[in-house]
Structure 1
Amino acid sequence: MATPREGGRGAGRALVVAPDRSTTQAASRLDALLAAAQSKSASRVSTQAKPPDVPLRVVASQATALRAWEAPDDELVESELPLARREQLQERASRVQLCAALTREAAAQYHDEEQRRERERQDRQAVKLQEEQARKRAHVSSHREARLAAERAQIEADRRREQEHKAALREQLTTARARRAEAERQAAERQAQALAREAALNERAARERRAAAKAAEAAMAQRRALEEEERRTQQQAAADAAALAAAAEEATREQTRQRRERWLER
């Protein structure tokens, strides 16, 4: 509550009476708390039957007392004050500390009052919610039986429709299986016929190949015979031609000899 200061009207160190920093901070917090409480009280005046006037008055009075102690006379030095004044200042400081303690207690009481009012408000809201839910349940219960009956009818209709659908699916499955079996049988018959035709074609081709081979062999034999006959014919023609040439040469020599003889006779 007192701070030393160098210099002053007294000799040496003097003691200046000044407010404690915690006291100043408490006063500032009280001002903020007072402003917040007043704003909350003004916002809930229309909805609450009894605003928290008593805690607010206590907080306001204590904050006013603290603000009065915030700006002391800095020129007052303890050594220059009479004893009665120092005792008065010390008593005033004690009252300020007591006022701060009472202010904190009032703030705590106000906070507890606010929490109580908030709990009461939440309880009222819970009661209203329960009443609203009860009305809704009463409103729903009147239509529940009809809705359940409609749901049961819908379920029964869905079950019948599902059974009909399953029966139609089974019939379609049976028809599809029969068609598939018929298609497989026809496919097997077509495959057997194709295999038979292929075997017949292969047999026919084999016969044709064998006949062609025989024909080719006969043609080759005939060609060889013709070639042999042609060769013999050519040889005979050559022999005949040679004989004719020899006879012609012989005749030519005979004619030449005769012409020579006639010439010689002449």
Structure 2
Amino acid sequence: MTAAVDKYFDSDGVQLRYIEQGYGEPVILLHGFTRNIEQGWVNYKLFDRLSEFFHVIALDARGHGKSDKPHSDVYGKQMYVDIVRLMDHLKLESAHLVGYSMGGRLSLKTTIHYPKRVRSTLLLAAGAGRSDEGRQLWSDLSESLETAGQLHPLMKVLWSNRKPPSERQLTAMNANMMDGNDPLALAGVARGYHELGVTTDDVAAITTPLQVVIGEEDAAARSDADRLCRDAPHATCILVPGTDHFSLLLRPELATYIVDFLLQVS
């Protein structure tokens, strides 16, 4: 299959890149923090697989991939408003949202604030994080990115083994995840992350079809996913054994979970 062509649109002065492929109901894919379209979807064959059934659109979030990377505080709320602006640009009345990690947070916020624009919501390695939780982590992370270009505070939280990562392991992970990234732009994302939090009432009011797929050993997002599954009365949840925050994307059955859910709600 030929590679999808890069396209761009203006989102309140920020140029954002997206790709699209396939026909049918629109599905927007939203990657995680430090990732991009390729690292989030294309390299795992998920983009091609989903485009066999749907009109799939993958977005490079602001501050990531080939999208603009402002160093000012234009993240937070703007990151989920970008999704609505993408739909406006494509003249889509509504779309299904599939988000991994940070992309899941963006999907959930869009669902809560723009319910008429969302047909269904599927969260991967994500849940109902609250704005008052994790503030110290994201503050430490923004400072670490600004001063040293390092993700170490976040890496320690994402590490699923009981034994803390060594400096050598942290350095290797940081080099991998920062490749192609702008530390000052990511620091801006980190500073605005508290705006992606939700309340119990927000989640309880969701009427959109909603599913969560979470790794059993996901040290970062498991508690948020459990909270979402508890607070959203009609949410369905899939717990994947032997899987952490990163390895979920490697599971061959993940594509089947996504396709099955989207076909069911289409």
Q: Which has the higher contact order (CA 8 A, sep 6+)?
A: 2
Q: Which has the higher helix share?
A: 1
State TM-score, norm by structure 2: 0.18
Q: Which has the higher strand share?
A: 2
State TM-score, norm by structure 1: 0.18
